[in-house]
Amino acid sequence: MQSQTVLTKEQKNQFEMEGYVIVKGLFSKQELDEIEQTFHEISERAIPGYFEPDLSSESPDPLRRYPRVMHPHRFNETAKKYMLHQPVMSVLESLYNEAALAAQSMFYYKPPGARGQALHQDNFYLKVEPGNCIAAWTAIDPADEENGGLLVVPKTQQYDIVCPELSDSKESFTTHYVKPPKEQKPMPVIMEPGDVLFFNGNLIHGSYRNKTKDRFRRAFICHYANESATHIGKHYQPLFRADGSIVELIDNPDGGPCGFEFKSLYPH
C-alpha cells in the first residue's frame, strides 16, 4: 500500500482547528524493522552526548538503562534518512504550505515501568521564529493508555507559549509542566506502528507512564521548522532540507515567557 503524502482537506482542517492530525501508515513494515534494528544496536552501547545508558543498572528506574536517544541523525545515517523520510516531508509541506527544514531527531524506548512526560509545549525549546515547529511522532510499537502513549490537549495550539511549572518527578522524567486551560482536557492518542502524529509546536502534550510489565512503547520523533523561519534555538543547528543539504538559521537567544535568566532543565 502506498503511503499518503498529500493531506485531505479534512486532515488539514483538523490540524488547523485541533492542533494535530494522525496520518496512518506513513512508514512501511520494512522501514519500521530497519528503524527498530538500528535503535536496538544503538541501545547496546553508550554514545557520549547522545545516548548515555547505565548498562549495568539495577536501578528501579528503567530509564537509567533506556534513556532517550538525542539527535541520532548526527551520528547515524539511518536516523538521518528517516528524519528526512519523503512521505513525512511531503505532509509537512502540506501543513506549512512551504518546504520544511528538519531540526531534531529523537528515539524513545519507553520501557515497561517508565515514567511519562509531563505536559509541555515544544516551541518553548525550539524557539522557531517566524512561524513554528511541527513534531512528527512515529509509533514503532502500538501506543495506548497502558504502555505510555501520548496525551494531547486539543485546540491549545491557539494559546501562547507559557513559562512551565515544576512537574511531579514521581510521574514525569522531565522537570517542566504546562498546566492546560480549565476548559481544555488532555485526551489519549491511540496509534499503530507506522502511524505518524503531526502536531503544532504550541500544542500542550505529554505522555502516560508505561504501566505494562512487558511492552515497550518505542517512538521515533523529529521536529521541523518552516523554510521561511529565520531563527531557532542554538541546540538545533544545523537544520537540513529534504535533499539533505545543510541550512544554518540565526541562533534565537530569546528567553521567552520565562526571561533570559531562566535555565532550561529539559534539553528537549
Q: What is the CATH number for 60?
A: 2.60.120.620
Distance CA 160, CA 53 (A): 35
**What pLDDT, on a 0 to 100 scale, did the predictor assign at position 260?**
62
Rounded to whole angstroms, how far apart are CA atoms 241 and 224? Answer: 10
Residue numbers in the chain where pLDDT is lower than 70: 1-4, 260-268
Whether 4 maps to a domain, the answer reads: no
The answer to whether position 146 is within a domain reads yes
- Cis peptide upstream of residue 130 (ω within 30 degrees of 0): yes
Question: What is residue 59's predicted lDDT score, i.e. its pLDDT?
Answer: 84
The answer as to whether 108 is a domain residue is yes
Q: Is 167 part of any domain? A: yes
Q: Decide if 136 is inside a domain.
A: yes
Answer yes or no: is 2 within a domain. no
**Predicted local confidence at residue 58, as pLDDT:** 79
pLDDT at 267: 43
Give residue 256's pLDDT: 81
Instruction: Label residue 116 exposed, middle or buried (CB < 10 Å: 0-12, 13-18, 19+).
Output: buried
pLDDT at 4: 62
pLDDT at res. 22? 98
As a whole number of angstroms, the distance between CA 255 and CA 193 comes to 37
Q: Return the pLDDT at 6.
A: 77
Q: Give the structural domain span for 175.
A: 9-258
For residue 73, being part of any structural domain is answered with: yes
Instruction: Check residue 91 and give its pLDDT.
Output: 98
For residue 221, the cross-strand partners are 106, 137
**Does residue 69 lie in a domain region?**
yes
Query: Which pLDDT belongs to residue 3?
Result: 59
Task: Quote the number of domains for the chain.
Answer: 1
What's the pLDDT at 262?
Answer: 52
List CB contacts of 40: < 8 A, sequence separation 6 or more: none
Query: What gap in Å lies between CA 45 and CA 49, rounded to an integer?
Result: 12
- The beta-strand segments (E) located in the chain are 20-23, 69-70, 100-108, 117-120, 133-139, 150-152, 165-166, 176-177, 187-189, 196-200, 205-207, 219-226, 231-232, 239-240, 246-247, 250-251
